[in-house]
Amino acid sequence: MTTAKDLFIIAMDPRPERSVGQGDLSLALAGAELIDLIGAGAITVDEDRIVPGGPSAPQDRLLGEAAAQLTREQPHERIEDWLWRRGKDLSAAYQAALEEDGELTRERSGRLSFGSKRVAPADTPARSGAAERWERREPVLAALASAVGVEGGPSDEETGLDDDAVTAVVSAVHDAVMELEAVRQRRTIENSAFANLWRGP
């Protein structure tokens, strides 16, 4: 399993205090892909830019798609720009892939047979592997989970990351998630002001 798939499974675990937004998760999944490509030697990071290495063919289909979408011409793409470009609807792509592989199941949320269904991780070795990685607070997975608001991750000062390239990616994910939240808040304020305008004094 890739870091992105492990992150998706961890984020699926229901937590009443906060659900993970699809936009936030998509940005973090794109970051997780970069980190796995760094680990595979497919890319390096030069300050805030992604520098592809030689041709690579990851066995994982979605990671292979990510590698194929890298910008190979100079100037190389900034990490933040990659997160927004690759991250568009990425959580939906991972959900579909994991369902297809039998890693996610649809469960009925109500007692009635016609109740709506929710998606949950299946009881598979992949889920056990993700849970084990999470329980030992593997630094990369914990840092990405923290970025999207999954409780139990490290603080920004305690990520335990010892690779500058990985640290740059995690930092960019945090910044992008914060930017997305700022956009949400601005839209909420604008919508509220618009509603008040129509309501009148």
User: Residue ranges of the alpha helices (H) in 101-160?
Assistant: 125-135, 139-147
How many domains is the chain built from?
Answer: 1
Q: Token pair for residue 41?
A: 């030697």
User: Tens digit of pLDDT for each residue in 115-154?
Assistant: 446 778 888 999 999 999 999 989 999 999 999 988 755 4
Instruction: Tell me the helix, strand and coil percentages in the chain, rounded to 5.
Output: 55, 10, 35
How many Cα atoms within 13 Å fall on the side-chain side of residue 177? 25
> Could you list the residue range(s) of the whole structural domain that residue 115 is in?
3-199
The confidence score (pLDDT) of residue 145 equals: 92
User: Tens digit of pLDDT for each residue in 50-82?
Assistant: 999 877 778 899 999 999 999 988 899 999 999
Are 140 and 166 a contacting pair, CB within 8 Å? yes
The confidence band for 193, taking pLDDT boundaries of 50, 70 and 90, is: low
Average pLDDT, the chain: 84
